[in-house]
Amino acid sequence: MIAQIPGASMVWMESIANPTLVVADVPTIVAAAKAHGVISVVDATFATPVRQRPLELGADIVLHSVTKAISGHSDLLLGAVVCKSKEHATAIDAYRHDRGATPGSLEAYLALRGLRTLSIRVDKSEANAMELAKRLSTHTKVKRVYYPGLEGDSQFEVARKVLPKGAGAMVSFEIDAAPSEVDKMLGQPAGVPMTLCRFSVGIENVEDIWADLKRVLG
């Protein structure tokens, strides 16, 4: 859909990348893109609008999977595109108009319902994620934890720059085990360890989540 913008060359980035949670230095990438006349597109699904607004960091277009944190109830399939310029918005709107797939009233209602509680849900799930990241980092069965909000994480400094309000609710970690001891993941991208686990932390009582993790890790 975005590729239909006439004459557009684009650079795409995830503000927090899946699955190892590498944080994009959005302002630096955007500046380099602009210097070459390239449109910058940021997928900010993991950050959510509560933790990052890439348009304010100079990006041209922002994407969100509304299905995930914004909805928050696992009952909606929807995406959102936010444009800085009217020209880009008009081109995308025309593409959607001509090809359909416009959200209905139920989808709009479910998205609005999720938005009403987004801030408080992000606060709670992020607090849980931080606590779990700290506990996982000291667990004897965990080799490495990936969480940009955790001091000492390789992404901590860039996260402080582009995610000053918080690093979100995604946590990844590597189990200290041979690949044969975990489920084999077919089609996993190169460079991703087979012992890597990634999960989206919810708003449940953190002790309940931790109890489940400890039971699985042994």
Q: Which residues of 24-45 are buried (b: 16+ CB within 10 A; e: fewer)?
A: bbbbebbeebeeeebbbbbbbb
Question: Which pTM was predicted?
Answer: 0.89
In the chain, the percentage of residues whose pLDDT exceeds 70 is 91
Question: In which domain, by residue range, is 160 found?
Answer: 119-217
Residue 104 is assigned to a structural domain of this protein: no
pLDDT tens by residue, 54-71: 999 999 999 999 999 999
Domain containing residue 14: CATH number: 3.40.640.10
Q: Tell me how far apart the alpha carbons of residues 193 and 188 are, in angstroms, rounded to a whole number.
A: 9
Residue 48 is assigned to a structural domain of this protein: yes
Please determine, for residue 86, whether its predicted confidence score (pLDDT) is greater than 90. yes
Nearest to 175 by CA among 194, 190, 199: 194
Residue 188 has what pLDDT?
54
Domain containing residue 135: CATH number: 3.90.1150.10
Cβ count within 10 A of residue 149 = 22
pLDDT tens by residue, 111-129: 999 999 999 999 999 999 9
Residue 194 has what pLDDT?
84
pLDDT tens by residue, 171-212: 999 998 876 666 555 555 556 788 899 999 999 999 999 999
